[in-house]
Chains A and B, each alone.
Chain A
Amino acid sequence: MSEAQSTIDEIISKDYEHGFETLLEMDVIPRGLSEDVVRLISAKKNEPEWLLEWRLAAYRHWLTMTPPEWANVHYPAIDYQDMIYYAAPKSQKDGPKSLDEVDPELLKTYEKLGIPLHERAILAGVAVDAVFDSVSVATTFKDKLSEVGIVFCSFSEAVHTHPELIKQYLGSVVPVGDNFYAALNSAVFSDGSFCYIPPGVRCPMELSTYFRINAKNTGQFERTLIVADEGAYVSYLEGCTAPMRDENQLHAAVVELVAMKKAQIKYSTVQNWYPGDKDGKGGIYNFVTKRGECRGDHAKISWTQVETGSAITWKYPSVVLKGDHSVGEFYSVALTNHRQQADTGTKMIHIGRNTKSTVVSKGISAGFGQQAYRGLVRVAKSAVGARNYTQCDSLLLGEKCQAHTFPYIEVKQPTATVEHEASTSRISEDQMFFCRQRGLSPEDAVSMIVNGFCKEVFKELPMEFAVEAQKLLGVSLEGSVG
């Protein structure tokens, strides 16, 4: 092994920063899953009858399904009866009316994570919904947003305050029986964020949800629904962390986006779930269904994701392009280090005329990291003039990691244009030497080269997030250099 390689190997052994646990009195239901558990969750949230029925239908459907096995990830079978499906801080029982009523321990937790929930302390221009285990603990800037008619609150709250919107859109993009994990989520989802932007409104600030798994043996099943009505615009950020534990924890979320005519949704994720230790012990299983639908003409949905965490990632943020001239974008950076595995990519479904999609995927594998890009571009017969451009690049750091690419292209419309480009590269010894000769430390050199590799994706992120993502990538690759 060359010296440059051993340097890179040292750099990519890392520590997880957000691995602490918050000790709180929790309201936890017994382990296991049954109709009774579904009813219990629904009852804890005081849900209307129609929603309980919806959950039960999902649960019954889930029972008939089997977990997907086509992904290039390997893990022991999950015992769904050995998991806890609802855990909430006791202090949240009656729901705090304002930030002053939020448990100080919780506020401290988020502050420690760099997400202060006191509005005055927050970077101007970002509203946060903080989801802790199964519940939303605080949403900031709600009042300011409601002045322009924007609804931004926890999902549970929206069920009571805006039942008509939830009824209309819930499950309309990701049906309950869509896939194994989506069905499970539909049955037991606990909380998440809801956001509605009325016609013609440009959301004046970034909206964000920060997900934190804290409780042990608990799965997190959150549900996010964002609706941008005609001509509306919203930029939404999602961040995630979890304590370090030896057991694997399941995170099976569903995110649904609806963009009406001329509406735009920009959804950015920086996923930093606990990835497990260097031998692959512990970590989050991140099995997530994310899908957006461009329902009206000229609608646009853009997914940007930076995936550095989780033991296993199974995730394909997708866009269904129904409206004519609608646009779908997917920009992704995924890093797998140590024993992390990721099977991630996107689906672009072209239905409307002159629909356009762009896919830029950057995969970085280090250590024994396993990574697969899996992307589907489907052009229906109706999608006259559809265009897709896909670029898929892999960077390998080390000798034992792997990168795979599985592109699926289905075109039923002869006027469509579909392009796919792929590359695989390494950091060369020449690049390392050049940077060091200019005075950069090996860590800085690797971090600079990796950031350069990801630049096309980072430039799609909102400013503060881009800085965050660069730092995170640096930390994820950081280690002791002897």
Chain B
Amino acid sequence: MLQIKDLTAEVDGKPILKGIHLTVNAGEIHAVMGPNGSGKSTLASILAGRDGYEITGGSVMYQGKDLLNMPAEDRARDGVFLAFQYPVEIPGVSNIYLLKAAVNARRRHQGLQELDAMDFLSLVKEKVRFMEMDEKMLYRAVNEGFSGGEKKRNEILQMIMLEPTLALLDETDSGLDIDALKVVSKGVNSLRSPDRAMILVTHYQRLLDYITPDFVHVLSAGRIIKSGGPDLALELERQGYAWLTGDQKDAPSKGAA
């Protein structure tokens, strides 16, 4: 589904990604871990199409298309979803309005009929209940006055409404208490399916207690320095990143493919 080959990128002339190789197949969940500043969030942002990065080399193919040449909105409509680390506030725009606009933009792109108000409402209410959220938040402005946990839940609500093909979760676990973490994980796990893939960007093992990945990659200084199964995350939890980052020669930057 996703093939990243030798991807290099800069911000303001400073190299951030220095040759990323990663292949993600349908049905897989990949965790990308690494210390602060290793380029994890940059990778997620570049895949989603955020401006401000200069791609200096490499390629990213998504379902046979050149992902890097697609505008952000086309990637989204094609099923790439990014759950933001810091969800933005949009004053005056209600959550339900945004959700409806997003869902219908995707449906139009897929050649499906837009959902009418009634069908949309019953669908969104079901998902809100599943995420253990208050229905009232649908009518509040997007993320305005939301707590950190509410914002993250709201991101996952958007994700399960949009049913992406490739979900990127950027530090979704940061700032969550244990109850919120469970709910967020429940949302993510509900999307596990043979024709969907996910990349979880995270600093800690904690999230992986609830969402078991198929592969774990360690990113350091813009390269994947080690890949493995779920056990690798546990090993990191015990030993810290220094265990790997001090010793890069032994870690070929090989993807999970």
Chain A residues with CB under 8 Å of chain B are 2-4, 428-431, 433-442, 444, 448-449, 451-456
Contact = CB atoms under 8 A, between A and B. Distances in A.
Contacts of B98: 435, 438, 448
B141 A452 contact: yes
A455 B91 CA distance: 9
Contacts of B82: 437
B92 A430 contact: no
Given A437-B48, A438-B101, A448-B101, A431 B90 contact: yes
B71 interface: yes
Interface in B76-122: 76-77, 81-82, 84, 86-88, 90-93, 97-98, 101-102, 105-106, 109
Given A428-B88, A430-B88, A452-B91, A436 B49 contact: yes
B92 A455 contact: yes
Given A4-B51, A434-B88, A441 B141 contact: no
Interface in B33-81: 48-52, 71-73, 75-77, 81
B198 interface: no
B156 interface: no
B48 to A, nearest CB: 5
Contacts of B8: none
Contact of B109 (A2, A429, A439, A454): A439
A438 B91 contact: no
A442 B92 contact: no
5 contacts: A430-B86, A437-B81, A440-B73, A451-B93, A452-B141
Contacts of B101: 438-440, 444, 448
A466 to B, nearest CB: 13
A328 to B, nearest CB: 24
B162 interface: yes
A428 B92 CA distance: 15
Contacts of A430: 86, 88
A439 B76 contact: yes
B90 A452 contact: yes
B58 to A, nearest CB: 21
B92 A451 contact: yes
B253 interface: no
B62 to A, nearest CB: 14
B71 A436 contact: yes
B141 A442 contact: no
Contacts of A440: 73, 101-102, 105
Interface in B125-141: 141
A429 B52 contact: yes
Given A439-B102, A440-B102, A451-B92, A434 B84 contact: yes
B99 to A, nearest CB: 8
A75 B127 CA distance: 56
Contacts of A456: 92
Given A433-B72, A437-B76, A439-B106, 14 more contacts: A2-B52, A3-B51, A4-B51, A429-B51, A433-B51, A437-B75, A438-B162, A439-B77, A441-B73, A448-B97, A449-B90, A452-B91, A453-B92, A455-B92
Nearest to A444: B101
A449 B101 CA distance: 12
B102 A438 contact: yes
Nearest to A434: B88
B158 interface: yes
Contacts of B52: 2-3, 429
Nearest to B97: A448
Contacts of A454: 92
Contacts of A429: 51-52
Contacts of B73: 436-437, 439-442
